[in-house]
Amino acid sequence: MDSSWNPALSPTHVGMIMDGNGRWARAQGMARSEGHKEGLKAAKRVTKAASDLGVKFLSLYVFSTENWKRAEQEVSFLMFLLKSHLLKEWDFYRDNRIKVVHSGYLEGLPKDVQADLLQVQHDTAHFDGLTVNLAINYGGQDEILRAIKRWSADPQKPQELTAGTFKNYLDQPQLPPVDLMVRTAGEARLSNFLLWQSVYAEYYFSPKLWPDWNETDLLEALRAFNQRHRKFGGLHGE
């Protein structure tokens, strides 16, 4: 283990914007679908690494509300990958005590993907290890708008809407704020991911394409986080 990494200073909640599957496939002379397959393998590697390294919450940006704009063939393949693997990874969830939750507009997904998402959440609800938040059909603005609608329709809503009470209407209100937001493939933007939750997140941008990511890359991101001085708008440390 890298001696410069202090587990006690690790982020509790890591967000991952997994970018570069298509570019990886193109560089290999392969179809984009092959890049998505390799990206799925990388997601499993990084999830296992996060579990081993003591991260408590890992949010993976799997499919955004904007991804529906992609070619129909690619979208269909991505839905197929989800359907093929959500329940297939049961042994992986069990062996690593991984609890799976979902963020995003569930009703906008195909019925079979909806069913599998609900099933895997039910089956893993009692696990006490890493919580993996799968952001599927997710957009930060969409989540905030849906939260407002939930609040508006709640007959027992608090009279005063504050940041603290509003959080309770988000998709997964029990998740803590994002401490570290990681984006791969050299891009440096948030792309509508966990806008509310990442208000004071630290950012880490990696040039590596997502299918090439492994435990070493995650550890490097955690090590970089250790070097940050977080002030949350205050003057601590200055």
Give catalytic residues, as residue numbers. 19, 67
- 166's tokens: 């509003």
Give the burial string for 119-149 (b: 16+ CB within 10 Å, else e): ebeeebeeeebbbbbbbbbbbbebbeebbee
Crossing angle of helices 215-226 and 32-52, rounded to 10°: 60
E-strand stretches of 97-184: 99-103, 131-138, 180-183
Give strand ranges (E) for the chain: 13-17, 57-64, 99-103, 131-138, 180-183, 202-205
Of 227, 218, 214, the C-alpha closest to 6 is 227
- Dist CA 63 CA 101 (whole Å): 14
The whole-angstrom separation of Cα 227 and Cα 108 is 40
Helix (H) or strand (E) holding 166: helix 163-166
Tokens of 64: 């955004």
